[in-house]
Structure 1
Amino acid sequence: MANTPQAKKRIRRNEKRETINMNRKSRIRSFIKKVETAVEAGDKKAAADALQAAQPELYRGVAKGVVHKNTAARKFSRLTKRVAAL
């Protein structure tokens, strides 16, 4: 258990950061899901629009340290390929 005031503050801070980061990851997943559903429906226009909306969200996650740079690049590349194949 945390004994020092610094350790107690660190625990409080970590809990706040955890909820913020979980919300960010959830938001990124939602944007990716929109692209995937549009691709599965075969709607190229909607998929392209969703992809354009998902890109800044993915890279914002990278900037905030929630997602690794290569993970975001890989996800975006795969989504782009799927949209282009429509």
Structure 2
Amino acid sequence: MANIKSAKKRILVNESKAARNKAIKSRVKTSVKKVEAAVAQSDAETAKTALKSAIKEISAAGSKGVYHKNTVARKISRLSKAVNGLA
């Protein structure tokens, strides 16, 4: 355990940031799973609506610094490609 006051503060701040990042990543994973499930069932309408919300979640995570911008672009691209393959 840290003895210096600033080190103790860093530990607390890092814990809160890790919790925030974990929550955001969890939301992204859930939205991606919804899109993939709709694609697996060949349900185009559900897939499109799920894709729209997934893109929103992924972009928000990217803008908050949870994901790198290239990771965001790759995730969105792969999901869009999967949904467009249904049509």
Q: Give the whole-Å Cα distance in 2 for the aligned partners of 1:83 and 1:31.
A: 14
Q: Give the whole-Å Cα distance in 2 for the aligned partners of 1:20 and 1:85.
A: 34
Q: Give the match for residue 14 of structure 1.
A: 14
Q: Give the whole-Å Cα distance in 1 for the aligned partners of 2:56 and 2:23.
A: 16
1:2 offset after TM fit, Å?
1.4
Q: Give the whole-Å Cα distance in 2 for the aligned partners of 1:79 and 1:17.
A: 27
1:17 offset after TM fit, Å?
0.8
Q: Give the match for residue 23 of structure 1.
A: 23
Q: Give the whole-Å Cα distance in 1 for the aligned partners of 2:56 and 2:42.
A: 23
Q: Give the match for residue 76 of structure 1.
A: 76
Runs of 4+ in 1 over 2 A off after TM superposition: none
- Structure 2 residues without counterparts, runs of 5 or longer: none
What is the 5 A alignment of 1:1-86? 1-86=1-86
Q: Give the whole-Å Cα distance in 2 for the aligned partners of 1:52 and 1:16.
A: 29
The residue type paired with residue 6 of structure 1 is S
Alignment partner of 1:42: what SS?
A: coil
- Structure 1 residues without counterparts, runs of 5 or longer: none
TM-score by length of 2: 0.95
The residue type paired with residue 16 of structure 1 is S
Residues paired across the two proteins, number: 86
Amino-acid identity (%): 49
Tell me the C-alpha RMSD between the 2 structures. Answer: 0.7
